[in-house]
Amino acid sequence: MGGNLGETVDALAADFNEQSSGVTVETSYKGSYDETLNAVTSAIGAGEAPELAQIVDLGSRLAIDSGAFVPMEEALPSDRIDWSDFQDPVIDYYSFDDTVYSMPFNSSNPIFYYNKDMFEEAGLNPESPPSTLAEIREASETIVDQEIAEQGITFANVSWFPEQWFAEANVPLVNEENGRAGDPTEINLNTDTADRVFGWWADMHADGLYNHAGVGNWGAAQQAFLNGQTAMWISSTAGVASATAGAEENGFELGTGYYPTAGNTRTGVVIGGASLWMTRGLSDEKKQGLTDFLLWLAEAEQQAFWHQNTGYFPISDSAVEYLEEDGWFDENPNFQTAFDQLQETEQTVATQASRTGLGSPNDHSGRLRQHDQLRYHRRVKTRGDEDGGRRRSPELHPEQRQLKWAYTRTRTIVRWGRTSCYCRHWRRSSRSCTTRRYRRSGSASSRRFCSVRTPGSSD
């Protein structure tokens, strides 16, 4: 974890080292979640696994299958930890076969951020944010038509957000009980929920209402919102602290709301973030040192510190009580949004999140690669191709081929480039390009592209 999050992790480690006798915790930054997961798996393969690893939620299945980690419920003495104190959605998420495999740490869910000042200027109720995708479009049109912001909303193009829309609709993302009853072989994108979500997303982008920050580019989306390019933003609750500071620096009042739903059904959200995994085969001395550190980290005071400085929600009831007694939520309502949303989440197969394998693109072991990695096998259309321009990567696994068409619907959004003509010739009032120099894409919805390139523009 980098930036403010990494600094907060280092502060926790330093605090523990200062009060500990004989035990020293050293942190090591390995980059993004994916980069950290790759570093950990490489270390395991080389027989040099770290004593404690922070692994992204999507890597849980891989961590279990590797056999390199001991279940946390077995590693930590039962007389020193009360698992019932942990928030049910959190502990359930990291439990498999009724066993807690890792220690929840930076747990989050996505929330809706908005610029209250822009809402008020546009004549929208700043105390009543949009709660559905349809309402977001209405608000975006109002804001953009009045030229209050360039686009209505932005969010990073990551698979976590579509998964949330499925969970809210109580639709599992994959079969086999969302991958928890067995290895999934099908992804459920041939549904009304998928049509509603991806249709909305595509149309928002085509009509100049959605700011495309880039695939996985969380930072660019945050900056577009904080700089006033958009009035709304969807992101993790992990960004509450930095967004609060950024809004203050840019002179506007920040508001937050529940994750917007695709329809009228609101079942709940899927937990994100990462957890801590203990390596097998440690010496008794190292295991004891790690046990002391993990139990200290799970205490209410440390969890409160972590929450207040990041936005990740407190993982235990005792931490919540600590914060409530201190009046934290009353003074900082934006920090409570994600926590309330989690409390209201129904525990269903859909909200427990999908569990799929994470093999490499060329690994045909029979386990599906996580769906957001299917970009290596996306469908591409080019003009003049009678067969629709279907390009297939060599040696594509049959199960991946079965899912590829559905994932294309997500990926197409980010490949359109200047959809609806994002250039200086763009006219907001009529949502058209004044040059009339456009070409039609190969997509079924016939999106328009301006062929006039401007300085700094890119595909």
Q: pLDDT tens for residues 163-210? A: 999 999 999 888 887 877 787 888 888 899 999 999 999 999 999 999
- For residues 184 and 367, give the distance between their C-alpha atoms in angstroms, rounded to a whole number: 8
The conformation of residue 368, written as its DSSP 8-state character, comes to P
For β-strands 151-157 and 210-215, DSSP reports them as parallel
All CATH 3.40.190.10 domain ranges of the chain, comma separated, are 3-107+270-343, 110-269+417-422
* Other Cβ atoms within 10 Å of 254 Cβ, number: 21
**Dihedrals φ, ψ of 113, to 5°?**
-110, 145
Average pLDDT value over all residues in the chain: 77
Length of the chain: 459
- The two tokens of residue 22 are 């004989």
Please list, residue by residue across 187-210, b when 16 or more beta carbons sit within 10 angstroms of its beta carbon and e when fewer do: bbbeeebbebbbebbbebbbbbbb
Q: What is the pLDDT of residues 420-444, one digit of tens each?
A: 333 333 333 333 444 333 333 333 3
Find the angle CA(220)-CA(38)-CA(12) to the nearest 5 degrees: 70
- For residues 172 and 353, give the distance between their C-alpha atoms in angstroms, rounded to a whole number: 8
How distant, in Å, are the alpha carbons of 29, 344, 401 from that of 147? 42, 36, 44
User: Are the C-beta atoms of residues 244 and 254 closer than 8 Å to each other?
Assistant: yes
- To the nearest 10 degrees (0 to 180), the angle between helices 192-206 and 160-168 is 130
**Dihedrals φ, ψ of 436, to 5°?**
60, 15
Q: What was the pLDDT predicted at 88?
A: 83
How many CA atoms, within 13 angstroms, populate the side-chain half-sphere of residue 255? 19
Q: Which of 263, 271, 237 has the alpha carbon at shortest distance from 113?
A: 237
User: Are the C-beta atoms of residues 160 and 238 closer than 8 Å to each other?
Assistant: no
Q: What was the pLDDT predicted at 398?
A: 38
**Dihedrals φ, ψ of 63, to 5°?**
-65, -40
The conformation of residue 416, written as its DSSP 8-state character, comes to S
**Dihedrals φ, ψ of 212, to 5°?**
-85, 110
Q: Which of 248, 451, 228 has the alpha carbon at shortest distance from 332?
A: 248
Using the structure block, give the residue that is written with the tokens 């049910």.
Answer: 88
Q: What was the pLDDT predicted at 151?
A: 97
Look up the CATH number of domain 110-269+417-422. Answer: 3.40.190.10
Beta-strand ranges (E) seen in 170-325 are: 210-215, 230-236, 254-257, 272-279
Q: What was the pLDDT predicted at 66?
A: 82
How distant, in Å, are the alpha carbons of 115, 116, 140, 141 from that of 122? 11, 10, 10, 10
- For residues 391 and 226, give the distance between their C-alpha atoms in angstroms, rounded to a whole number: 39
Q: What was the pLDDT predicted at 357?
A: 57
Q: Which CATH number fits domain 3-107+270-343: 3.40.190.10, 3.40.50.1100, 2.60.40.1080, 3.90.850.10?
A: 3.40.190.10
Rg (CA), the chain: 23
- For residues 383 and 406, give the distance between their C-alpha atoms in angstroms, rounded to a whole number: 21
Which residues of the chain have a pLDDT value below 50? Answer: 358-459
